[in-house]
Amino acid sequence: MRRKLAAGNWKMNGLGAALEELRTLATTPVPDNTDILICPPATLLSRAAEVAGHVAIGGQDCHANATGAHTGDLSAEMLRDAGATSVILGHSERRADHDEHDEDVRAKARAAWEAGLTAVICVGESLQEREADNTLDIIGGQLAGSIPDAATGENLVVAYEPIWAIGTGKVPTTAQIGDVHDFIRARLERRFGPGVGRSVRLLYGGSVKPSNAAEIFAVPNVDGALVGGASLKASDFSGIIDALS
């Protein structure tokens, strides 16, 4: 049975004082069979890892190379060294702000695996693509292009994040979420075989809040959430974690 996962993406938010939220989460009981992951900005990784307790810590991006002349970048091994066990890759904000494409995400995922990190690979369509009825084609292309061949249930998590739902308060219907998650599951099973395909966790992301989490988590093939805004406060994120039980 797949473990549930509540993952928080703090994005470019959080100074040292934000670690109080993590300290609170670290002392909050977690439902059985559930993992919690917080991805703070890189400046907080080491300090976060020290106070996180049962909460796992992740990065928000990594470079595809292990070392070298890449000013401002961080390698997967550096994230690992700072206490991370996972890294978010291919978030739509990285794809848009840094012109990242599927092949970049794939190379980064290989680097993450090389360093022993789990890659949380994000896929998702724009509003225009949804309205043109191209959602599944887009998602299929992103899955094929972004995920390297050596995927397992331990080294890969896939997050379905419709771009138009991120930070907007707009959420797809549960039927729309279910359709995409079933599609992703089928694609993973076809490519990696039923064993691996059924063991990879699938997260939904986009305006998840305590008030809508239970409805979303009831959708088959939704194993948890990747949460932006509502992961910044322990009280909000705890409400989402509770909805997983």
Residue pair 89/122 in contact (Cβ under 8 Å)? The answer is yes
Judged by CB, which is closer to ligand PEP: 42, or 196? 42
Per-residue x/- mask for ligand PEP, residues 48 to 67, rule CB under 6 A?
A: --------------------
Per CB under 6 A, 180 contacts ligand PEP? no
Residue among 178, 175, 245, 185 nearest 213 (CA): 245
Per CB under 6 A, 125 contacts ligand PEP? no
Residue 58 annotated as binding site? no
Residue 10 annotated as binding site? yes
Give me the least distance between CB of 172 and ligand PEP, in Å please. 12
Task: Give the Cα separation of 212 and 79 in Å (integer).
Answer: 32
Judged by CB, which is closer to ligand PEP: 89, or 196? 89
Give me the least distance between CB of 168 and ligand PEP, in Å please. 7
Count of Cβ atoms closer than 10 Å to residue 33 Cβ: 11
Cβ neighbors of 243 (< 8 A, separation 6 or more) are 210, 213, 214, 217
SS3 sequence of 31-42: CCCEEEEEECCH
Judged by CB, which is closer to ligand PEP: 172, or 229? 229
Per CB under 6 A, 153 contacts ligand PEP? no
Task: Give the Cα separation of 122 and 117 in Å (integer).
Answer: 15
Task: Report the catalytic residues.
Answer: 91, 161
Q: Give the annotated binding-site residues for substrate.
A: 9-11, 167, 207, 228-229
